[in-house]
Chain A
């Protein structure tokens, strides 16, 4: 009896996997039903629905990149401190002295790649008409995920706290002060006043809410850090779960039921 057989025959192994290796038809079916990670998939699937030249695999790659970002992101969080005193120097150290500082490179390039793969996933879904009934609502969730992907990338852009970061965020968030009614330089904001007292000022408008101040400051860094590491990923995780669940319930990624 080989060591491998001994391990596979042990009570521990069997308690985890509960069935033999997926080498025959029966166990290949069973594995899909009993494994938590694999049960996202159906047991069997239309051949064209998984043809690479049809799906481009972009949705799957996007999800994988989300996982990569989560893992590298958590590792970076062990190291990085979102304060004016430390933020830039921590990134500098990640680049120059920290073991596995390459996590930052992987995190940043993965983020860029994820933006691109989300677009391509949407492109493919559109071009194959996969948003058509019964999958209309899943497309809507997909658009929300697109927005959140961009916001994840945008909030992360500030964290290195270098010139590139604060000015990109300054340019991006300057738009918010022109929000109609809710930005102090937006049309209609003047209408929101009570007895000559303006409700929307540079200290109370949409941009102030976003930045936690009148300009990009330490409060912004804290705000973006929490949005980037906690708030948005939580929402994204929930929406991804719904997105995948709907793919199954709507009868696969594409084609009429």
Chain B
């Protein structure tokens, strides 16, 4: 009976067949890994919870080989079982889908990505070892291949224009891993007083052939990838444009979806104009406010902690993760949908958000919002609006004007003395603008806050 309630639980044979090839690729990659592991000849002590007494030394390569063999079997079963896709058993189990769906919401998403970000920095020497990186890659790929068996997941992730985002996630992940790996290595070398990676083998070589050939090979590879991509995946073309039929959801191009996601928390003039402008000005300002002379021309973390953490926080949880949220998890009416959830147009979300002014006048003072008499003169009307919103205005003014000097006297004391007034003020304001998004998010979730300052009369809502 339950299957009737599911919107479309179907697996198609082409999906199963395609997954078979993905598993085969995964098998080949892991076979190479087994070979590497075998060459390194490492051992691991296996005790199976005391079952083997003091434990048994076994080669690491054998564990990878078992995993590898399993991948091959999974692959073959996909490739041969694809004509009976409806009853194919290897799919994302419901007992995993249910908790993932239940735990998914914007709060969990942002808190989760921020937590991962912090863990990534704290445990940077752990997860940047080749083995850890390989395990992470395998986990994420298996999560992906298993999730593809879910109909709703496949509908969203498999959209042609969304495929680059999946690719981007792996690429960004890989390069973040690589950068951290090199940073950890360099920081260790610095601590031991050895020359950095970038200082070793750094003689001058002739551009022809050393650079010219690399470039040539890069061009050939990129061309091949683009053509293969173009053959496998057709560029999207939907129905002819019609001003009368508004799609739901209507989404901006994927690289702007982080900004569109900000519309949940800010009005268009902030999310669409002010904050993007501040992001760009802030990016351009970076070389002029970063007074740290260290870390020029080599990977490091310890020597530029503040700069790297700030930049990465902006790039990973606030930009890339927001794009993922906006693309994959925001459905009709910009409602949040879990990864394996059907995009139901009729899903309702209660919105009981209140403004600071409403909270102050209605809840604290126990009276109506102050409203100017309809025949009042303009200055009186303005006065009433300012009176209504006084608390929010004071809060925003305090945030923008009182916090920078306060931070200069406390947490940013060193920065202030080293940077001077102007540079420091630019830095402080950029930081405040950047943090305004997470702050507004948390206030929305914790206190149902809509606007701190709400003056719709002037289109001025913050």
- Residues of A at the B interface (CB closer than 8 Å) are 22, 25, 28-29, 31-32, 38, 41-48, 50, 52-54, 56-57, 60-61, 64-65, 68, 88, 91-92, 95, 102, 104-106, 108-110, 112-113, 115-116, 119-120, 122-124, 126-133, 135-137, 139-140, 143, 146-147, 150, 153-154, 157, 160-168, 170-172, 174-180, 183, 185-190, 215-216, 254-256
Task: From A56, A132, A178, give the contact of B459 (CB < 8 A).
Answer: A178
Contact B241 A43 (CB under 8 A): no
User: Residue B364 at the A interface, CB < 8 A?
Assistant: no
Residue of A nearest to B458 (CB): A187
Task: From A38, A65, A166, A172, give the contact of B243 (CB < 8 A).
Answer: A166
Task: Report the minimal beta-carbon distance from B289 to chain A, rounded to whole angstroms.
Answer: 10
Count of B interface residues, CB-CB < 8 Å? 91
Task: From A109, A115, A216, give the contact of B226 (CB < 8 A).
Answer: A109
Contact B238 A171 (CB under 8 A): no
Contact A162 B460 (CB under 8 A): no
Contact A129 B235 (CB under 8 A): no
How many angstroms from the CA of A120 to the CA of B199 in the assembled complex?
A: 23
Contact A165 B241 (CB under 8 A): yes
Task: From B226, B295, B460, give the contact of A129 (CB < 8 A).
Answer: B295
List chain B residues, Cβ under 8 A from A57: 214, 218
List chain A residues, Cβ under 8 A from B212: 38, 41
Task: Report the minimal beta-carbon distance from A47 to chain B, rounded to whole angstroms.
Answer: 5
Task: From A106, A139, A150, A190, give the contact of B286 (CB < 8 A).
Answer: A139
Contact A116 B198 (CB under 8 A): no
Contact A132 B179 (CB under 8 A): no
* Known contacts A102-B230, A129-B296, A168-B253; is-contact A108 B175 (Cβ 8 Å): no
Q: Mark B278-321, 1 if CB is under 8 A from A, else 0.
A: 00100110111010011111111000100110010001000000
Q: Which of B229, B274, B287, B458 has the most CB atoms of chain A within a 10 A radius of its CB?
A: B287
Interchain residue pairs with CB less than 8 A apart (29): A38-B207, A41-B212, A44-B205, A45-B207, A46-B205, A50-B214, A53-B178, A54-B299, A56-B175, A102-B227, A108-B235, A109-B235, A122-B283, A126-B308, A128-B298, A129-B296, A132-B290, A132-B296, A140-B287, A146-B283, A162-B240, A163-B239, A164-B236, A167-B247, A172-B256, A175-B273, A177-B268, A178-B459, A180-B274
Task: From B198, B253, B280, give the contact of A143 (CB < 8 A).
Answer: B280
Contact B208 A45 (CB under 8 A): no
Contact B272 A175 (CB under 8 A): yes
Contact A255 B230 (CB under 8 A): no
- Residues of B at the A interface (CB closer than 8 Å) are 161, 164, 167-168, 171-172, 175, 178-179, 182-183, 197-212, 214-215, 218-219, 222-223, 226-227, 229-231, 233-243, 245-247, 250-256, 259-260, 267-269, 271-274, 280, 283-284, 286-288, 290, 293-300, 304, 307-308, 311, 315, 458-460
Task: Report the minimal beta-carbon distance from B227 to chain A, rounded to whole angstroms.
Answer: 6
Which 9 A-B pairs have CB atoms at the shortest separation, nearest pair first? A175-B272, A255-B297, A105-B230, A136-B287, A178-B268, A178-B269, A112-B164, A187-B460, A129-B295
Task: From A48, A166, A174, A185, give the contact of B241 (CB < 8 A).
Answer: A166
Residue of B nearest to A253 (CB): B297
Residue of A nearest to B241 (CB): A166
How many angstroms from the CA of A140 to the CA of B289 in the assembled complex?
A: 13
How many angstroms from the CA of A123 to the CA of B239 in the assembled complex?
A: 37
Contact A131 B287 (CB under 8 A): yes
List chain B residues, Cβ under 8 A from A45: 204-207, 210-211
Task: From A139, A150, A190, give the contact of B255 (CB < 8 A).
Answer: A150
* Known contacts A68-B223, A106-B227; is-contact A163 B274 (Cβ 8 Å): no
How many angstroms from the CA of A104 to the CA of B208 in the assembled complex?
A: 34
Contact A163 B207 (CB under 8 A): no
Contact A127 B299 (CB under 8 A): yes
Contact B172 A120 (CB under 8 A): yes
How many angstroms from the CA of A78 to the CA of B329 in the assembled complex?
A: 39
Known interface pairs A123-B172, A137-B287, A168-B250; 14 further A-B residue pairs with C-beta atoms within 8 A, sorted by A's residue number: A41-B212, A42-B207, A54-B182, A60-B215, A109-B226, A113-B164, A126-B286, A127-B299, A133-B296, A140-B284, A150-B255, A162-B239, A178-B267, A183-B273
Task: Report the minimal beta-carbon distance from A185 to chain B, rounded to whole angstroms.
Answer: 5
* Known contacts A105-B233, A171-B260, A178-B268; is-contact A163 B458 (Cβ 8 Å): no
Task: From B222, B234, B247, B250, give the contact of A105 (CB < 8 A).
Answer: B234
